[in-house]
Structures are given as structure tokens and as C-alpha cells.
Amino acid sequence: MLGRKALAVNLSDIAAMAGVPHSAVVSIGLPRDTTPAYARAIARGMAGMARRYNVAIVGGDTCAAERLFVNVALLGFVEPGRAVRRSGGRPGDGLYVTGALGASAAGLAVLLGRVGRRGRVSVAARRAAVRAHLDPEPRTAFGRALGLCGLATAMIDLSDGLGQDLPRLCAASRTGAVIVVSSVPVSPAANAVLGRERALAAALGGGEDYELLFSVRSEWVRLVAGLARRLRQPIVRIGTLRPAREGIRLLTREGRYAPLPRGAFEHFPPRG
């Protein structure tokens, strides 16, 4: 699944701008003790994903390395004026996410053995969570449709978690936001694997869900709902963009405001 995921996470970036993926350059470093079967499995997974999304792998490099790495540079295109950036949101716009959140973090917990005794969690829930982590589904069709229809004012994919990516969208749009905790769609697999409270924390800050977070003008809400039905893509409104001076807040189940927890992942963590 590594080859599939390496391409999928890049496809998600293209989806977040309403683009069409086109071609990729791939570099792979393999430790010298890598078996040919494992190397072929990576290549087959990536090739299958590329065929599914009409991506041509046009070049790259393969070399020996101390540690395994897969680097993908994916190119796409979008028509002038159709790209959906992070900067178009305005106070009053509704905030939506595709799918459900938290399953990937739950899958990582399963793989790391951090979910307690096996008998307490069903095999099906464990498998669903692990698959969400290892084999994410990029929302390319829905992201593309939002751009072509001009219905999303701002958009980002949830690679680092709601707690990291929402502030990025708000910073670009120069807004704040209110997220209604009871509206956040928590994955059933995350609930089953982690329990309600840990699953909610995973949905807010776990990352690697690769769902789309996007904003919509109030007058376009019915159009977006209709588009989601036609494409069979579940979406949920989780909050509203607010003036920047109000910051980014959670409206808790108790009706109180609380800060949005920051995600744990950092691309460039401090040393020490």
C-alpha cells in the first residue's frame, strides 16, 4: 500500500485546488536488503493508483539508500479562474468537510499497539482504521466539481489535521472560525478503536485523513448539497468563518467556547 499512499497524498493536494492530476516524477530509495518482491509491490501499488486517476509516471530515479524513501512530484492543471485557493473565504461562509475524520489516527494507533486488548475492538473496526491510514482515498472528483461549479470559496485538504489546517485556511482568508464540536463527523472506526473522547481528539488533530475542508457562501448551500448527492460524496457542515478578531474557537457540547486544539504534527519541528 506504500506506493498507493505515496501517490494518493499528492492527488489530495491537487484535489484541494480543484485541479486535474496529469503526470508524476517519482524517486525511490531502497535499502540494500530490500527484497525484490517488496520493491515490486511498491511499484505495482503506485502504478495501479496512477492508472485509476489517469496519471502518467513520466520519470524519476531509483537508488540505494540507508532508509526507504518515496518522493513524488505530481503535476496537474486547472483552468484560469477555476483554482480554489485557501484565501477566498469570508466571514459568514459555512465550513464543510467531506467524509469523516479520525480513522487514520486510529489506524496508526492500531499499528503501534496503542488500543488496548484485542478483544475489546472488533477485527472489522481495526481493519477499517488501518486501511484509512495506509490507503487513503483522495477526493479528486468532488474537489474538481467544486471548482468547476464555482461553489467553494476556499479549500484545503486535511493532511495535518483540522487543528493545523483550519488555521492555515483562516490565515490565508484573513478570518476566524467557529467549529461546532457536535457537528464534527467522527469516523465510526475511530470511535470503535479509540473510544468517543480519543476519537474526537483524533478527528480534530490526528491528521492524514485527506478529506477536504472548504467554505461556501450561505446562498450556495443548497447547490453544494445537491452536488454532493449527485457525486455520492458525504459532506457535513462543521462551522462558520468569522471575523479574524474573533479567532478560531470550538463551540463545545456544553455550549461554551474553547480554543481549537493544535495538531501534533510539525513539518519542521524544533531541535532538542
Q: For residue 244, give the CATH number of its domain.
A: 3.90.650.10
* Sign of the CA dihedral running 127, 130, 134, 136: positive
Tell whether 108 and 229 lie within a shared domain: yes
Tell whether 166 and 35 lie within a shared domain: no
Q: Do the Cβ atoms of 113 and 179 come closer than 8 Å?
A: no
Provide the domain count of the chain: 2
Closest CA to 69 of 11, 32, 25, 30: 30
Tell whether 149 and 239 lie within a shared domain: yes
Q: What is the pLDDT of residue 114?
A: 85
7-65 per-position pLDDT tens digit: 999 999 999 999 999 999 999 999 999 999 999 999 999 999 999 999 999 999 999 99
193-251 per-position pLDDT tens digit: 999 999 999 999 999 999 999 999 999 999 999 999 999 999 999 999 999 999 999 99
Q: Do the Cβ atoms of 218 and 147 come closer than 8 Å?
A: no
Tell whether 38 and 145 lie within a shared domain: no
Whether 12 is in a domain gets the answer no
Tell whether 178 and 227 lie within a shared domain: yes
Q: For residue 56, give the CATH number of its domain.
A: 3.30.1330.10
96-117 per-position pLDDT tens digit: 999 999 999 999 999 999 886 5
Whether 103 is in a domain gets the answer yes
Does position 272 have pLDDT exceeding 80, yes or no?
Answer: no
Query: Cα-atom radius of gyration of the chain, to the nearest Å?
Result: 19
Tell whether 158 and 255 lie within a shared domain: yes
Tell whether 132 and 30 lie within a shared domain: no
Tell whether 149 and 240 lie within a shared domain: yes
Tell whether 224 and 155 lie within a shared domain: yes
Whether 271 is in a domain gets the answer no
The residue segments making up the domain with residue 72 are: 20-77
Which of 77, 109, 143 is at the close of a domain? 77
Q: Do the Cβ atoms of 224 and 145 come closer than 8 Å?
A: no
d(CA 231, CA 8): 19
